[in-house]
Structure 1
Amino acid sequence: MISMFRTAIRYRIWAVDHCLPAQAQGKRPRAWRQAAVYWAACAIISMLILALRRFSKIDGRVTPIIVLLSGLAVAAFYPTRNLDIASTLMALLGAGYNLSRVLIDVEIQRLVSSTKLGRAKGRVHVACMGFSLLVYVGLGVSGDALVPSAVFLAFGSGVIAVVTAGYGLHLVKKRASLHRSMPL
């Protein structure tokens, strides 16, 4: 039991954002460099997958699944204390972010006519920026009361809740349309 505790302490990633001397000199700690490399590598791999047209015949059902998995990966940062697991989560987020971003854009282009495409993309962009602004204001008000891993947990849980609610609304809508009778 004690050896497990020592191992957990040795691989613990501290959730304190104090400025390190290496950061003050413009250098990032090794953990951040490793996570950034994993993110970038999987982002490039996901773009190669898209370039090979592996998602050319996929409809809009796969995008919420990718976003849901990304939300699970973000929420998983809360209990993670191992650098290798955190790097793997960053890799999943890099791939999931790029795949979902491109697939959402493709879905918008598929669903909206070309005359209204700019307006639709603008509305999506404004909604996302407004949500981001609310998140930044909330973080600014909370100050140091929240540790970064708790913020990741809250954001990931929010993503999971929104995707699940979207699936629920879709199922309710589908079920309601099945119970309608044909007019005589």
Structure 2
Amino acid sequence: MASLLLIAGDFVEDYEIMVPFQALQAMGHRVDAVCPDKREGDRIRTAIHDFEGDQTYTEKPGHDFILNATFAEMALDDYDGLVIPGGRAPEYLRLDERVLELVRHFFDHDKPVAAICHGAQLLAAAVSLDGWRVSAYPACAPEVHLAGGDFVEIAVDQAIVSGKLVTAPAWPAHPAWLARFHELL
């Protein structure tokens, strides 16, 4: 099975880190969850985003997530794929050049990448999305367009594959998103 890197930070969406982290391991993959400036055993805080009929999602405190690897000690060549959860973390992770280099590595080496929800913010900051079909939380559509990508509106429980990239709008898409990513691996 594959060795996967999951990049996250404080206030990552709770379901979008917990579910992929556990489900991909249950499928037999090794998943190393890292955060810049944090070490194995450190905690990151999560937020639960829910869809309750308002104009946008609501946000509630989530669980603490314990990292199982150290950002500064990872060797990118050891990983077969990248997982980018959403939430608020991509908003500030995209300001870290080391994170952008990490994302570029997976694109440059044609390795599978799975991004969900606001994870598209990190994609758009790191690489040109010209020629890529990308889904994300609808509020990320302008960033996908500005990065040259083709933003694809799909149902919240669906995922889209474009080359080695699989994206989805939000956590209700986990079954489709994770299945498509597993197929790419």
- Report the TM-score, using the length of structure 1 for normalisation: 0.26
Which structure has more RCO (C-alpha within 8 Å, separation ≥ 6)?
1
- Report the TM-score, using the length of structure 2 for normalisation: 0.26
More helix by share: 1
More strand by share: 2
